[in-house]
Each structure stands twice: as C-alpha cells, then as structure tokens.
Structure 1
C-alpha cells in the first residue's frame, strides 16, 4: 500500500511540475513574441526587456492564482449599492498586490524604450484596447473635438497601464470600464449627452442593418 501511495504521489508531483514548466514556457514565449515586435538591434537591451516582462507576467499570474476572490467578503459596493460581484471581489484582491510588481516592469520599459515602444508593449498586454475603444468613441461621437479626443485617449492610456497588472481578459476589460465611465462623465460635463449619443448610434446601426437586409431580399 505504501509503495502504491508513493508511486501515485510521484505521478502527481510530476504532473504538477510539468504544468508549471508548461506555464513558464508559455509566458517566456509570449514575452519573446512581444519583444520581437519591437525589432530592437541591441540584444542585451532586448533580453533585459524580455526578462522584465516575464517576471511581471509571472508575478501577476502567481498573485492571481494564490488570491481567489473568496478572500474578499461578499459585501456591498458603496459606490452603487449593489452587492459585489465575483469579478468585483477578484479585482479588489488582485489590486492589493505589491506596487513593486508594476513599477519594476515600468522602470525597465521606460529606461530602455521610447514612448512608442512602451505603448506597443502595453498594447500587447491589453490586445490593443486603447485604439479599439477610441475608435468606438469616434463612431458614437462623429464630431468629437481634438480636446475631447485627447482627454479620452489620456483616460484610456491610464486604463491600459493599470490593466497590465491583471491576469484575465475579464479583469482587464473591467479596468477599462472604470475609465470608460470617466470618459462618458467628461463628455456629459462638457455639454454632451452621452446617453442620447449612444442611443443615436445604436439606432443608426440598426437602421443600416435593416437596409442591408432589405437590399438582400
């Protein structure tokens, strides 16, 4: 019986180690792809950036995996009056990670890369959400001014940098939602009616779909 138990334990440990190795290799490959996209001629600089990204991705993953949402009580969200969702609770516990996880990465990126290259790396983390979301605002508000566009971009870029410290795309999207709300409040506070603008956009999209549908018949 002891031999069987020992054999089973060995199999389990081997399986866990294999999973850990696979996960580590996946993060290494992801960082390598991102840095390759920068086309850095200096190999030492590229390696330093790559290892900083790997260390950051690993720290974010490990914190997320070792801090389930259940560590945050299922209480009330004081801002809305609604009960905290599981995603709210996960965001809270993941936002409590040491700030050095973030600053250690950003210090390396800002020291070794230019502004456009740093933005490229942050866009890899967040699958290009800044450009995608800004394009949405431009579609909903066709006469968006340069001042409004700059304010919206500033908010979205803040969302992007904050969002890199979260593991899942649901969490990243939730961070962007916080800043999208700020964008919409900004528009409302400066003479726009976001609710009406959004309704007009939805109505326009529906009308275009109906027109295409009628044309196909």
Structure 2
C-alpha cells in the first residue's frame, strides 16, 4: 500500500525493497502478493473476484481447514503466473521468477550446507505453521462470515481484551482490520488512534465491532 514511502515517490524503491527482502522468508513473491492483495481490497468478499475468498473454506471442518491453508498458500505463490503473466512486462516476469528461485534456492543451499532431517522439518513445518497462522489470523478471522461486500461492513474490527494485548502486538493491529481496509495507507501503529477518532462513524455505518472470541457485537 505504499505505507513506507507514503506520498514521497522518490522513496518508492525503499517500499519495494522491504517487500522483496521479506518475501523470501515466507516464500510468497512480492511481485505476486502485491497484485493479489490489491485485488482482495478491490473485491473484498466477492466470491468470483476476491482471491482471498478461498480462505472462507476454513469454516467447514478440520479437513477443509487444512486443505484451505494449502490452497491459499499455493494461490499466493502462483497468483502472478496465473493472472498477470500474459499482460506483465518482461521485467516483472523476470523479477517474479528470480524471487521464486531465490526463495527456493536459499533453503536448498542451507540443507546442502547442513543436511539433517531436523533442519528439513524446521524449514517445511515452519513454513506451513507460519502460513497457517497468517492465513487464520490475518485473512480468515477478520472477514468472517464472508457474506458482506459493502465498504464499511465487509471487514471486522475485533476487540481484544486487555490480558490479550501482547498477542495484539504480534497481530500488528490487524484485529482492527476494517481500519486497514478503509484506510490502507495508514500504518498499523496508528490504527488505534484512528479507530478512536472515527468509532461513532463506524458504528453508524454498521461496521462489525465484535469480541475477538465471542464474535458478538461490542
């Protein structure tokens, strides 16, 4: 969303650099994720247009939960190849391919340098557990029940009790996910201040403000 450089176009490279540096850690190419995520914002909860809608399958039981996580991760990795490849310039295609090769390459190189079952399990299970955590808390929970598409009502604000505040820090404020969707250029550390300023407007517009566990109106 350009949160790092803001309106300073000269620092766009810094914003992109942060994306490219983070991407190999989670094996989701920045070149792919930025297109996928912007389409998620444009078409939130629209089953035929929102690429993240697939994550709604988590609510249909354990087997569906596991299958949905794997499909969601695969969708994130391959979105560029499936949706943008034909229209993307050669430079973007090359960057996407380079990201994929580097993401896989550093893992293979690490295993080649220090081969062990334990390291392989850390790399594989760490990737899957991290993907599951992210899919559940950053994508699934903020959008339940995936039935509303209106701007102020397609995403939840989940109110966290005081004793759970440390988890909210790990969640980087995405429990106030409606704030992120309404004002994506606002950095996460300002979500609470903005929420406090516009809470009456949110309530008037019917924005879901729910308990994080009960999912009942607060």
Range class of TM-score, shorter chain: under 0.3
TM-score under structure 1 length normalisation? 0.28
TM-score under structure 2 length normalisation? 0.28
**Richer in helix (by share):** 1
Larger Rg: 1 or 2? 1
Structure number with higher relative contact order (C-alpha < 8 Å, ≥ 6 residues apart): 2
